[in-house]
Structure 1
Amino acid sequence: MSTVQSIRDDLNARSSARPMTKAKAKKLAIKHLLAIEERYIFSKTLVYFYLQCQGIEPPKASNDDSFFLRVLCVDWWIRKLLRKDARDREATSILAGNVAKGRQIYCSDATVINVQERWANTLQGMEQKLCVSDAGDELDMLDILKSSLANPENRRAELMVRMSGFEQYADSKDHIGMFYTITCPSKFHRFMGKSLQKNTKYNGATPKDAQKYLVGVWSRIRAELDSWGAKPYGFRVAEPHHDGTPHWHILLFMPRDYEYLITETIQEYACKEDSYELASPGAMDARFNAKRILKEIITKDGVKKVSATGYIAKYIAKNIGFDIGMDSEDATQSTDKVSDRVRAWASTWGIRQFQQLGGASVSVWRELRRLKDKEIEHDVIREARDCCINNDWAGFLVVMGGTEIKRVERELQLLKKNEFNEETGEMKLNRYQEIVWKIVGITADVFDVVTHLKKWTIIQKPQDIKASGGRARSASPPL
C-alpha cells in the first residue's frame, strides 16, 4: 500500500470514529487538572501555554481568580474537550476530502448525525421540564422554545422585519444600498472553487480559521470607515462553500456620497492578503464582488420595482432552512434538504450566521416588546415601545436617534442589575466568583421601566404530568 493511500485510510478512519463520550471527557479532564495543579498552577503564562499546546482556547475571565477557577473546573474542561473532539473529527473529514458537493456537502455525515442527536437530546430534556414563576405561573419548556427565536419561523420573521425596516429608513433618507460578497484567499479552501479539483495552496485551515480571518478583515474595515466618519448599516450573512469554507454576503445602506469610499475600503482589505492570486481572470470577482442595488429595473413588461431586502432574503431563508429552490452549491438538492447540514456546520464551528451591522440595539427592541400592555409615562420609551409592538424597525431607528450616533449615546439603554441573596444580603456571584449582571428593563436618564416583573425557575416536571403527557397552565412566556 502506498504512503498516500495509507494516510488517506487513516484520515477516513479518524473522521468516522465515534465521538468522545462525556464519561471519557471527564476522565481526560481530570488528567489535565492534575497536570496543571502539579506543574503550572503558579504561573498564568504557563497555564496559557499548556492550554494552547492541548489545542484548548484559554478562558475569557474578568480577573485572574476567575481564570484559574475555570481552568480548574471539571465541567469547563468537559465542555472544551467535547467541542475540540467534534471540531477535530470534522477537520479530519475536510482534510481527507470527504466534505464537498457530491460527497458530504458543507459538513460530514457523522457531524450532522451527532448534532441532530444533540438537538434531539435537548428537546427530550425540555419535555421533562417546566418553567415556574414566583407568582405561580407554569410554562412548558417546549412551548417556550416554540415561541422563541430558536424557532426558524420566528427567527426568519424578526430578521426580515429588521432588514426591511433598514430599507424603509434608507429610503426616507435617500440612502443607497450596496450588496457585497467577500470570500477567503485560496489557502483556506480544500478544493478549487466549486470543483472537486484538489487545491494545492490549501494550508489545512478549518472553517473556524476562515471565519476568524473574515472577522479580522471586517474589524479593520470598520475601523477605517469609523476614522472617515462613515457609518453604513445593514446585515451580513455567513454561509459555507461546498467544502465548508465560509464566505460573507453583506447588504449595506449608506449616504450616496459615501458609496465610493466604503466600496473601495471593503475591496482594499478584502483583497489585501495574498493579493498576488488576483491577477488571473475572474480571481478578483471570486474574492470580492460589489453590486449597486437599483430600486427600479427595466424589463420587457416595463419598469419593475426592486426591493433591496430581496437581495439578502434568500440567503437568510436558505441558511435558516426554508425552501427557496435549488441550492447554489449543489444544483441537485433544494435548500431545505441541506438546511440541517448548514445548521450543523454553524453549530460545530461556532459560526454566527447572521449579524446586524450598525443601527440601534436589538436587545432594547426585544425588551420594549415586553411592555405591550403597560402604561408608560416617558414619551420616548412609549413611542419606541409602540414602534416595537407594530414591527416598525424604521420608526424605532428614528426614535433611537438614527443610525449615525453611537449606541452609548442613545437615550434609551438596557437597565441591568445584579442579584442579591435574600437571606444574607450579599451580592450573588456565578460559580467562577464573577458578578452577573441581568437585564431587568429599560432606562432613559433617571427614568426606569422594569420589563422582568417575575422570577422564573426551571424545574423537573412532576411524574404525573410526565406520564400523561399533559401541558402546564398557559401564561405569557418569559421571552
Structure 2
Amino acid sequence: MGSVPCRLTGEVVSSSPEQAPIGHKSGTNDTIRAQILARKRLFDRHPQLALQLRFHHEIEVRTLGPLRADKNLVECDDALRFGSFNVSKLTNDEIKRLAGNHAHHCQIIVFDETDRAALKQSLSHYLTTLRISQEIDDRLIKSVQRSAWWRKRIHRQRRTALASVRRRIGMANLRHSYIDRYTLESFRRLEIRKRQYLEETVLQNETGQTRTLAEFYDSSVSNPRIRRIELINRLNGIDEWARENGDAGFMVTLTAPSSMHRYAGKGARLNPNFDGSDPRAVQIYLRKLWADARSHLDKQGISFYGLRVAEPHADGTPHWHMVLYTRPHNVADLKRTLNTFALRKNGTERGAKKHRITFTDEDKTKGSLVVYAVKYISKNVDGHGMVEDEHGKPIESYVENATAWSRTYGIRQFQFIGEPPITIWRDLRKLRDPLPGQPTLEPLRKAARDGDYHTYLKLMGGMGGRKVRPVKRVPSNIDHETGEILSGTEMVLATFLSCDNVLTIVRSAQWTIQQARNAPSPRENRSLHGAEGPIAVGEANAEALGLVSITVPTEKAQMHKQTPEERPPP
C-alpha cells in the first residue's frame, strides 16, 4: 500500500484501509481527526441528505475502503454545487437573485467583447465553470442575458443534481424503482400544482367563448391516451410502408457498460465498479454512440428508419429498445456496425458480448414488429392493456415513476428515425375544409384528417435517408433571434404551411389568457416548478390544439394564399 492525497482534507495519507478508520477513537492522530471533522462539515452542508449520505458512506467504508468511500462522498458534494452555491439549500428567492446575477454578468461580457470569436470563447468559459455545455450561437448569446433563462437552468440543475445524488447513494433501487421516493413526491406535487393552474386559468377569444387551459391540455397529445394512440398510429403507418417496399425489420435492445449501472446483477447489490454516471450522462453516452454509428452507416450508404424507446432499469440507468427497418441486403451490415459501436467501450468485460446489445428478428407467426413495440409504448405512456410491469408491480406505479424519471433527467422517451415532421401532420389535421387548387397539399390534408399515416408518409416522400419534403412549416409567432415561440397575454397564432411556393395559413380563433382568481401567474409557477414552467407543452389532434399555439379551429377557417415575398413579417 502507498500514500495518496485525502479527498476530504487534501493531506497525504496511507491507502491502507486499516490505517484510516471512519470513527473517532482514543489515540487517533490529527489526520484522522481532520478527516472526521471534514466529513461532519460535508454532512452539515446538506441537511436534506445528511442521514442518507452518512449511512451510505458507512456501507462503502466497509465494502470499498475509507479512501474510496471518501472520494465518492466528495463527488456527491461536488455534484450538489452550482458554481459556489449549494443547490440542496437554495430557495426560490435565492434562485431568482442568482439568476439575475448570472444574466447581468453575461450582459457585461456581451457589452465588453467586441470581437465575435472572443465573445463566444468568454461565454463558453463562463458556462463551463457552471457545468453548462451548449454550443454558443446567436440564440444562446441572447438567452443567457435573460434572468428567466437562468432561473429555468438553475431549477433544472438543482432537481437533476438532487435526484442523481440520491440515486448514487442507492435510493433508486428495486424497492423504489427508477426514481427515489423524494423526487417522486416532488414530481407528484408539481403535477397537482400544474393541474390546478390548468383548471383555474381561463382563455377567451374574440367572440367571447371561454375555455380553460385544462380543456386544451386534455384534447392534445399532452394527454397520455391521445399520445399513445398517435404513437401507435404512426408506427403502424411506418410498418405498412416497410412491408409495401419490401424492407426487413428487427428489434434491438441497447444497454450501457456495467460501470454506468448503480446496481450490479439483478439489482440486489451496489456495483463496486460504478463510475458515478447519472442517467443523463448515460443517455448522452448512448446518443453519442448512436450518432457515431449512424454517421458510419451513412458513409456506407446504408439507410434505415424506425422507432427508439428509452426506458430505465430499476436503478434509473437508461437503456434503449428499437424497431429498425432497412433493405434486406443491408440487415447484416447494420447489425454488425451497431454491435461494433456498442462494444467500443469496455467491450471485453464479462457479459458484454451477450448483454450489451441484442437483436431479435421479426417472427411473423407472432405478429408484426408493431406488436413488440406497443408494449413499450403503452407501459411508458399510460399502461393501457397492462396490469403489472416485469417486476410484478402495478403498471400505474411504473408509468408514474418512468414519467418522473424522464422529466427529472430530461430524457426523451420516444424518437422516430427517418420520419417526416410530425408537426405538419398535426397542422394538417386542423384543416377541416378542402383546399381547392392545391393538388399537393389537399391529398396530404385528407390523409391527415382520415388518420391515414401510411398515405401521409408516401405523399411526404417516405421514410429513411435524406428526403425532399413537399411541405414545410413556418410559424409566424417566432423570435428569429432566439428561435423561441413568442409568448404573452395575447397569443400570436398564425402558422403557415409552405407548399408549391404557396403559403397556407392555418387560421384559428385568437385567445387571450384571463387569469383566474386563485391561479398563480405563469411567472410565479415557473419559480415554483422550475425548468418546465407551469404547463407541459403539447400539440394538437384534429379537434383541438395543444398548448404550443393555444388555438381552436373555427368552423369558418380561412386560408390565405401568398407568395413567400408577400408573407407578413413575424
Question: Cα distance 1:401–1:373, how it changes in 2: closer, same or farther (>3 A)?
Answer: same
Residues 237-246 or 48-57, more deviating: 48-57
1:13 alignment partner, one of 31, 50, 62: 50
Contact 1:56-1:84 at 8 Å conserved across structures: no
Alpha-carbon distance, 1:39 to partner: 8.3
Alpha-carbon distance, 1:387 to partner: 1.4
Contact 2:199-2:214 at 8 Å conserved across structures: yes
CA deviation map 1:299-323 (0-9, x unaligned): xxxxxx5121011111111111315
Secondary structure of the 2:383 match is coil
Residues 37-46 or 1-10, more deviating: 1-10
2:310 and 2:500 map into 1 onto residues whose CA distance is: 37
Q: Which residue of 2 aligns with 1:336?
A: 396
**Identity level (%):** 26
- Structure with higher RCO (Cα < 8 A, 6+ apart): 1
1:416 and 1:34 map into 2 onto residues whose CA distance is: 31
Q: Which residue of 2 aligns with 1:394?
A: 454
Q: Is 2:496 aligned against 1:441? A: yes
Q: Is 2:356 aligned against 1:287? A: yes
Secondary structure of the 1:276 match is coil
Alpha-carbon distance, 1:38 to partner: 7.4
1:172 and 1:39 map into 2 onto residues whose CA distance is: 57
1:338 and 1:19 map into 2 onto residues whose CA distance is: 30
2:96 alignment partner, one of 8, 20, 26: 26
1:223 and 1:271 map into 2 onto residues whose CA distance is: 17
Measured on the aligned residues, the alpha-carbon RMSD in Å equals 3.1
Contact 1:22-1:78 at 8 Å conserved across structures: no
Question: Cα distance 1:341–1:181, how it changes in 2: closer, same or farther (>3 A)?
Answer: same
Secondary structure of the 1:231 match is coil
Question: Cα distance 1:258–1:344, how it changes in 2: closer, same or farther (>3 A)?
Answer: same
2:329 and 2:306 map into 1 onto residues whose CA distance is: 17
- Following superposition of structure 1 onto structure 2, how do residues 155-234 of structure 1 map, counting pairs within 5 Å? 155-234=227-306
Secondary structure of the 1:379 match is coil
Secondary structure of the 2:440 match is helix
Q: If the length of structure 1 is used for normalisation, what is the TM-score? A: 0.83
User: In the alignment, residue 398 of structure 1 is paired with which amino acid?
Assistant: K
Secondary structure of the 1:268 match is helix
Q: Which runs of 5+ in 2 are unaligned?
A: 1-20, 24-34, 54-86, 114-118, 487-491, 519-542, 546-550, 553-570
Secondary structure of the 2:359 match is strand
Contact 1:55-1:84 at 8 Å conserved across structures: no
Question: Cα distance 1:439–1:175, how it changes in 2: closer, same or farther (>3 A)?
Answer: farther
1:195 and 1:173 map into 2 onto residues whose CA distance is: 43
1:318 alignment partner, one of 373, 376, 379: 379
Q: Which runs of 5+ in 1 are unaligned?
A: 297-304, 420-427, 464-474
- Following superposition of structure 1 onto structure 2, how do residues 79-228 of structure 1 map, counting pairs within 5 Å? 79-102=152-175, 104-228=176-300
1:53 and 1:438 map into 2 onto residues whose CA distance is: 39
Contact 2:305-2:324 at 8 Å conserved across structures: yes
CA deviation map 1:33-55 (0-9, x unaligned): 56667789645433322322223
User: In the alignment, residue 342 of structure 1 is paired with which amino acid?
Assistant: A
1:242 alignment partner, one of 280, 302, 314: 314
1:69 and 1:49 map into 2 onto residues whose CA distance is: 16
CA deviation map 1:214-262 (0-9, x unaligned): 1111111221222222221111100001111100000012221111111
Alpha-carbon distance, 1:268 to partner: 1.3
Contact 1:29-1:74 at 8 Å conserved across structures: yes
- Paired residue total: 441
2:474 alignment partner, one of 415, 425, 429: 415
User: In the alignment, residue 364 of structure 1 is paired with which amino acid?
Assistant: I
Secondary structure of the 2:263 match is coil
Contact 2:494-2:508 at 8 Å conserved across structures: no
Question: Cα distance 1:139–1:207, how it changes in 2: closer, same or farther (>3 A)?
Answer: same
2:354 and 2:455 map into 1 onto residues whose CA distance is: 37
Question: Cα distance 1:82–1:405, how it changes in 2: closer, same or farther (>3 A)?
Answer: closer
CA deviation map 1:160-210 (0-9, x unaligned): 000111111112122221100100112211111322222222111110000
User: In the alignment, residue 414 of structure 1 is paired with which amino acid?
Assistant: R
Q: Which residue of 2 aligns with 1:70?
A: 143
Residues 434-443 or 199-208, more deviating: 434-443
Residues 238-247 or 20-29, more deviating: 20-29
2:259 and 2:493 map into 1 onto residues whose CA distance is: 42
Question: Cα distance 1:223–1:193, how it changes in 2: closer, same or farther (>3 A)?
Answer: same
Question: Cα distance 1:45–1:98, how it changes in 2: closer, same or farther (>3 A)?
Answer: same
Q: If the length of structure 2 is used for normalisation, what is the TM-score? A: 0.71
Contact 2:220-2:544 at 8 Å conserved across structures: no
1:2 alignment partner, one of 13, 16, 22: 22
CA deviation map 1:100-158 (0-9, x unaligned): 112x2101111111112122212111222223334544322111010011111000000
Contact 1:418-1:435 at 8 Å conserved across structures: yes
- Following superposition of structure 1 onto structure 2, how do residues 261-276 of structure 1 map, counting pairs within 5 Å? 261-276=333-348
